[in-house]
Copies of this chain bind each other. A is one copy, B any other.
């Protein structure tokens, strides 16, 4: 199995979180953008696992922090994190997941396990290029691509006792 299929296997996930937060701080510093406590906390919550989190899940977790809030607080933090490429929105799930390639200019492809919910983000520049080329062939000017693949992750294949 390729090395970057990490999320499916037991791994030191705290390292993912730490890395993501460090990257985020660095990216925001360079962009002169303010990674405020709320924004950082939302990012950290999203990174609690490799399963996308809904806005209201985040809201609930903020609540159990004691740090109670309303939906706009969360959506504003999410907008910020999206804007700086620190998270991705998974359109087919209405949920958000940490970007595994923050700082690299890229378009993500997401492999979404129907059983366990885990998402693996791939970058496939050649494929994305081919998609954009196909769009231009129709005289269409592409500016955003949503590419999400639903199915079964390696761990969940053959498991007939779903969790």
Contact = CB atoms under 8 A, between A and B. Distances in A.
Interface of A: 1-2, 5, 8, 91-92, 109, 111, 113-114, 120, 122, 124, 127, 130-132, 134-135, 137-154, 157
A147 to B, nearest CB: 5
Given A91-B91, A127-B131, A131-B127, A138 B122 contact: yes
13 contacts: A1-B139, A5-B139, A111-B142, A114-B143, A122-B138, A124-B134, A127-B127, A139-B154, A139-B157, A143-B152, A144-B151, A145-B150, A146-B150
A57 B132 CA distance: 31
B134 A127 contact: yes
A138 B91 contact: no
Contacts of A91: 91-92, 146, 148
A147 B150 contact: no
For the complex of A and B, the 5 pairs showing the least CB-CB separation, nearest first, are: A139-B154, A142-B151, A91-B91, A146-B148, A141-B152
